[in-house]
Structure 1
Amino acid sequence: METIFGVPLNAFAGQLVLGLVNGCFYAILSLGLAVIFGLLNVVNFAHGAMYMLGAYLAYVLLTMFGVPYWASLAIVPIAVGILGVVLERAFLQWLYKLDHIYGLLATFGLATIIEGLMRAQFGVSGQRFPVPEALTGATNLGFMMVPTYRIWVVAASLLACFVVWLLIERTRLGATLRAGTQNPKLVAAFGVNVPLLVMCTFGAGVGLAAFAGVLAAPLVQINPLIGQSLTITVFAVVVIGGMGSIVGSVVTGLALGVVEGVTKIFYPEASATVVFLVMVLVLLLRPAGLFGKGN
């Protein structure tokens, strides 16, 4: 049997695939965080709660209303994005000119409230979401069999990240968004509705988190705390990539997912902390992150 560094090839490749799937979730969640921070300058600690809401809403739509998975991929991000817009108008719009700590504390409070409400409604036991019939089974890659759904998760996540990057970095809308957050008075003088832009940006950011939640639903036990386990890791990814850097968030998320997967092979005890070790090393060498400005 072929081995790599003394590890059977199948086991090594399996951990790489698992790490890549986790990296896709890190990438898409950190992308939403980076969009919100980079354009609105708000540290959104409720991002994990929005991810959890996305998974639960897909579950509720399927079990109570018979809405299929494919429809949920479109409906859930829009619904959670609208909730994000309401929260932004009700709570966060007053915090943009204050220190980051106020936004962090406010969103932490919102996350705690949302998780408490979901715990009261669904309890703490996990719910199962079935894999869509079209994505069941496994695909032969030649050197190993990979669950088809995991391949779909990688493809859908990368496509979503590319579309967001394209919109923000290569379109007039993205240029207007960036200008509106850097100099809102000047942009408003040209007739642009800056508050509407800000509101939609926040809604799109949390919509990305909900999209990730729908993708994750068939892979995890859905419970009110699934967002908590990811929030700190995703924040570490954003810091390593550079706060507000879209490319940095995507590249770093994918890379750290793979690093985490490889670490589970050689030193499983360190797999839960390797991301934070990388963060410490990066901040010592490049305080603004790998792709951040100001290094």
Structure 2
Amino acid sequence: MTIFGVPFTAMLSQLLLGLVNGSFYAILSLGLAVIFGLLNVINFAHGALFMLGAMLAWMGLQYLDLPYFAMLVIAPLAVALLGMVIERTLLRWLYRLDHVYGLLLTFGLTLVIEGVFHSIYGSSGQPYDVPVMLSGATSLGFMYLPNYRAWVVVASLSTCLATWFVIERTPLGALLRAGTENPKLVEAFGINVPLMVTLTYGAGVGLAAFAGVLAAPVIQVSPLMGQSMIITVFAVVVIGGMGSIIGSVVTGLSLGVIEGLTRVFYPQGSATVVFVIMALVLLVRPAGLFGKER
């Protein structure tokens, strides 16, 4: 069976591979949406912190012989702590200023972080082996799906769902939203709003590092691995709606699938289809598909 001359099995294969890429887009854009939605900061350093998570996982294995699942916890926590230091020492002074100041600061941080690792390890990629527990592939009849890529989809979707639930359906999430909208009122109830803001930024960049560890066995670990990813992820966030948690997740997964299908029907357009969609969405709905019109 063929569709427009393309075998149906080939299309299904690309759909699944697109879902894997969409999982990376979803979890990365989720971290960006959390930071922008709750702190109103455009965090351009997200790609560098994604890379940092992957580099820490590689360094943990290379120098300390720490296994993948240990680094899946340690690396995001380490990057979250770094993020909290960044928020307390640098970002906290910019909240009342225009968005461009936060963008410029985080862009500068990106250059510093990438420059440090580039000077040590160069630009060549470092291999990171798939954990033995997740090696191999499962036959789906029309293709063999690598077990690790299936794990990426499950881990990403579970993390996205848990993050959405905490922010939208728990008292803690209500406090976070209230603290960013009316901090003085929340402080009147004895809540430490600056600490909540710091923890929120740490959690957002921790999600980026978590995605980096997930990506380490899929793509080679290098100091520049976040550069190409972050541009696409920003497009995902814009399409979904800046600050929209559910918009980032749904759009990230959808665009990954669309990108995969584009590789089947028009391979030359797979690198630009996300940006074409972004332009069309902005023409029709400037706030994004799930964003709120101001």
Q: Which of the five TM-score ranges fits, normalised by the shorter chain?
A: over 0.9
Amino acid at match of 1:44: N
Amino acid at match of 1:266: F
- Aligned equivalents of 1:171 and 1:142: distance in 2? 42
Q: In the TM superposition, what whole-angstrom CA distance separates every residue of 1:225-247 from its partner, at most 9, and x where no partner exists?
A: 11000111101100100000000
- Aligned equivalents of 2:12 and 2:76: distance in 1? 32
- Aligned equivalents of 1:47 and 1:270: distance in 2? 26
Amino acid at match of 1:126: G
In the alignment, which residue of structure 2 is the partner of 1:214? 213
TM-score, structure 1 as length reference: 0.98
Does 1:13 pair with 2:12?
yes
Identity %: 68
- Aligned equivalents of 1:143 and 1:264: distance in 2? 18
In the alignment, which residue of structure 1 is the partner of 2:63? 64
Amino acid at match of 2:50: Y
Does 1:23 pair with 2:29?
no
Structure 2 contact 79–209 (Cα < 8 Å) conserved:
yes
Q: Give the 5 Å matches for 1:200-279.
A: 200-279=199-278
In the alignment, which residue of structure 1 is the partner of 2:153? 154
Amino acid at match of 2:112: I
- Aligned equivalents of 1:120 and 1:186: distance in 2? 47
* TM-superposed deviation, 1:143: 2.7
- Aligned equivalents of 1:230 and 1:219: distance in 2? 13
In the alignment, which residue of structure 2 is the partner of 1:287? 286
Does 1:77 pair with 2:63?
no
- Aligned equivalents of 2:5 and 2:63: distance in 1? 49
* TM-superposed deviation, 1:259: 0.5
- Aligned equivalents of 1:245 and 1:291: distance in 2? 6
Q: Give the 5 Å matches for 1:4-153.
A: 4-153=3-152
Q: In the TM superposition, what whole-angstrom CA distance separates every residue of 1:163-196 from its partner, at most 9, and x where no partner exists?
A: 0000000000000000000000000010000000
- Aligned equivalents of 1:290 and 1:192: distance in 2? 33
TM-score, structure 2 as length reference: 0.98
In the alignment, which residue of structure 2 is the partner of 1:167? 166
Structure 2 unmatched runs, 5+ = none
Structure 2 contact 45–109 (Cα < 8 Å) conserved:
yes
Q: Structure 1 residues 265-274 or 52-61, which shifts more?
A: 265-274
Structure 2 contact 13–142 (Cα < 8 Å) conserved:
no
What's the secondary structure of 1:220's corresponding residue? Answer: coil
Structure 2 contact 44–107 (Cα < 8 Å) conserved:
yes
Amino acid at match of 2:61: L
* TM-superposed deviation, 1:258: 0.5
Amino acid at match of 2:19: L
- Aligned equivalents of 2:95 and 2:115: distance in 1? 26
Amino acid at match of 1:217: A
* TM-superposed deviation, 1:10: 3.0
* TM-superposed deviation, 1:7: 1.2
* TM-superposed deviation, 1:6: 1.7
* TM-superposed deviation, 1:142: 2.9
* TM-superposed deviation, 1:12: 1.4
- Aligned equivalents of 1:166 and 1:293: distance in 2? 20
What's the secondary structure of 1:244's corresponding residue? Answer: coil
Q: Structure 1 residues 5-14 or 138-147, which shifts more?
A: 5-14
- Aligned equivalents of 2:220 and 2:141: distance in 1? 30
Structure 2 contact 18–260 (Cα < 8 Å) conserved:
yes
Task: Supply the RMSD in Å over aligned alpha carbons.
Answer: 0.9
Aligned length: 294
What's the secondary structure of 2:95's corresponding residue? Answer: coil
Amino acid at match of 2:72: L
Q: In the TM superposition, what whole-angstrom CA distance separates every residue of 1:11-41 from its partner, at most 9, and x where no partner exists?
A: 2122111111110000000000000000000
